[in-house]
Structure 1
Amino acid sequence: MTVFFEDVSEGDRSEYGSYEVTREEIIRFAEQYDPQWFHVDEERIERESPYGGLIASGWHTAAMTMRMLVEAEFRDAASVGAKGTDELRWWRPVRPGDTLRIETEIVETVPESPERGLVRVRVETYDGDDERVFSMIGNVMYLTRDG
């Protein structure tokens, strides 16, 4: 069933996930998109890291969050992209072996035209210890049923 703008309401909450983070994925992503030493250089990490080991790029954490959102929420939604994000935060490092999950809450719905509305959704990502590692408010465009 396709979820249209009219089908979501302020206060709607959902929980999704389970995304297993691997060492190999952390390094592969960082080598391509964020090659800072604390994401890729394991010898230096062992000697100098203030994080106590290898950590994922924050942008990788955002990408893993997006993957879970697409698989669980946007796959059946009449979503046509986003206008951006607000309040983007990285709260704690993500590490190899962490299993991530997300919680969402619709914070606002704004009709924009007969064809489309804006859904503001708070997204929080948690690790296996239920520690918040990432959060944002996405500004997602949804088609209307009759648009």
Structure 2
Amino acid sequence: MPRAFEDFHVGDVFELGSQKITHEEIVRFAQAYDPQPRHLDHEDLIASGWHVTATFMRLYTEGVLLHAEAEVSPGVDELRWLRPVRPGDVLTGRVTVVGLAASLSRPDCGILQQRGEFLDDRERPVMRIMIYGLMRRRQAANP
């Protein structure tokens, strides 16, 4: 049964797993979405921050959203790229629930606030983001 809003608590931590970033993925993403020279063909190649964020979103979706009564996201805050990501880096994601609030526009939902972070293989943060998610309440999901 998917998690409803009531099943989340401040302090809950969700480990999202890891993803290795390859040279080919960095270049392919850059060619399609962020064709800056540092992301395409540079001796000190680094991943686009948008590539890093998209990779995080994939792990977050698979680790949390697909197992929850998730609706849409009203937004994100404080997206920060803290250090460069290079080919071969293995990034590990996690999110921590930091806030819960009633939705003012959707009484059948609550708003889940989570702090997401990606760590490199030396456990240094490479990205941080504050995510807001609209989650259906149990009563609305199972009347």
Quote the sequence identity (%): 41
Letter in 2 for 1:118: I
Aligned to 2:122: 129
- Counterpart mapping for 1:67-86 below 5 A: 67-86=58-77
Shift of 1:96: 0.8
**What is the TM-score normalised by the length of structure 2?**
0.93
**Please, what TM-score do these two structures have when normalized by structure 1?**
0.90
* Gapped regions of structure 1 (runs ≥ 5): 47-52
Is the CA contact 2:14–2:63 (under 8 Å) kept in the aligned structure 1? Answer: no
Structure 2: distance between partners of 1:75 and 1:20: 22
1:143 aligns with 2:132: no
- The answer (yes or no) to whether the contact 2:26–2:39 under 8 Å persists in 1 is yes
For 1:1-147, list aligned pairs within 5 A: 1-41=1-41, 45-46=42-43, 53-112=44-103, 113-147=106-140
**How far 1:14 sits from its partner (Å)?**
2.1
Aligned-partner Cα distance in 1 for 2:86–2:75: 26
Q: Which structure 2 segments of 5+ residues have no match?
A: none
SS at match of 1:71: helix
Q: How far has the Cα of 1:6 moved from its partner? A: 0.5
Paired with 1:39 and 1:25, the residues of 2 have a C-alpha distance of 10
Q: When the two structures are aligned, how many residues end up with a matched partner? A: 138
The alignment yields a C-alpha RMSD, in angstroms, of: 0.9
Tell me, what secondary structure is at the counterpart of 2:71?
Answer: strand
Partners in 2 of 1:114 and 1:7 — Cα distance?
17
Q: CA deviation at 1:114?
A: 2.9
